[in-house]
Amino acid sequence: MSPRFSGLLVSAMVFLTQFLSVTGDSNIGVCYGLNGDNLPSPTDVINLYKSSQIGNLRLYQPYPEVLEALRGSGLAVAIGPLNNDIPNLAADQNAANAWVNTNIVPYKDDVDFKWITIGNEVIPGPLASSVPGAMNNILNALATAGLQVMVTTVVSGSALGASYPPSAGAFSSDTVPTMTGVAAILAQQGAPLMANLYPYFAYASDPTHISADYALFASSTPVVIDAGLDYYNLFDAMVDAFNSALEKINFGNVNIAVAETGWPTVGNEPYTSVQNAQTYNKNLMNHVTQSGSPKKPEYIMTVFYFEMFNEDLKPSAVEQNFGFFYPTMQPVYPFW
């Protein structure tokens, strides 16, 4: 090996090491909400993502000041329009073009847009029927701009008519037409369906039937055995309920990504606590970076934690206290 080639190889290895140290686990991200009146500047927030080795960021609407701060950061970004904009994006290709030309194109050379989310928990609901049309129009606008970004939507468990056991997972009858249209668009792109999954809420609402160990990834034996698959934790059962629902509309090839999951530290004791939040989030990290769900064990999902900061303008104490960090940028508990 020539000295020059050896030097180039070493330089490349150093660059790769530095890149990986900045981005951390490539399938892990954190949601960046701005429902607070005391949050740090976007530049400080993006630097905190980088110093914490968080590689993916989810943004709920296109804040120009955040997009500016993301330039050159190397973070992979999920972003979407406001829910109320969806009908207009579905009805008018020019509106979709304008959204892409305003919020994506000016930043395309410096920001790594990986996902565009059309709707956050709007299926089922009055906006649901507009989602497939808006997805298609945004895809057309991206193509016109010469860009390739995955376009998806974000659903919650309310899109399911059945979820237990996981193999019985099925979309509710009123969501099947919309979800079939969405899934067809996702399959064409090779894009995942995004879901907000919260074992915390299921456990806190029914602790008699759902154990803390099952919710917190702490069970050493299967809690649910279903269709020959062992479920040690509620998170996997929630994921596979969606996988089963997709199979039932003949789109089992569409994968799941998790757009939100987390555990609050305050507001509903004894279920909320620093210890429970730290346990859930750490055990989730260990699980999803190493394996998929029982139905798709080889598929490593993208997972976004909810959320970066405690946000004081949220409506309840629980909602205000999902953050990894206080607005001072001090950690709520050691994690990153």
Strands (E), the chain: 28-32, 56-59, 76-79, 112-120, 150-155, 160-162, 170-171, 193-196, 224-226, 229-231, 256-261, 303-305
Give the integer Cα–Cα distance in Å for 132 and 154.
12
Give the integer Cα–Cα distance in Å for 99 and 81.
8
Which residue among the candidates 260, 269, 307, 319 is catalytic per the annotation? Answer: 260
Cα distances (Å, whole numbers) of residue 39 to 29, 55, 230, 310, 317:
19, 20, 42, 9, 17
- 153 touches 193 (CB < 8 A): yes
Which residue among the candidates 68, 121, 298, 319 is catalytic per the annotation? Answer: 121
Instruction: Please indicate whether residue 121 is annotated as part of the active site.
Output: yes
Under DSSP, is residue 187 helix (H, G, I), strand (E, B) or coil? helix
Q: Could you read off the pLDDT tens digit of each residue along the chain, which spans 336 residues?
A: 444 433 434 334 333 333 343 446 799 999 999 999 999 999 999 999 999 999 999 999 999 999 999 999 999 999 999 999 999 999 999 999 999 999 999 999 999 999 999 999 999 999 999 999 999 999 999 999 999 999 999 999 999 999 999 999 999 999 999 999 999 999 999 999 999 999 999 999 999 999 999 999 999 999 999 999 999 999 999 999 999 999 999 999 999 999 999 999 999 999 999 999 999 999 999 999 999 999 999 999 999 999 999 999 999 999 999 999 999 999 999 999
Q: What is the distance in angstroms between the CA of the first residue and the CA of the last residue of the chain?
A: 39
- Amino acid identity of residue 306, one-letter, is F
Residues 6+ apart with CB under 8 A from 329: 40, 44, 48
Instruction: Please indicate whether residue 260 is annotated as part of the active site.
Output: yes
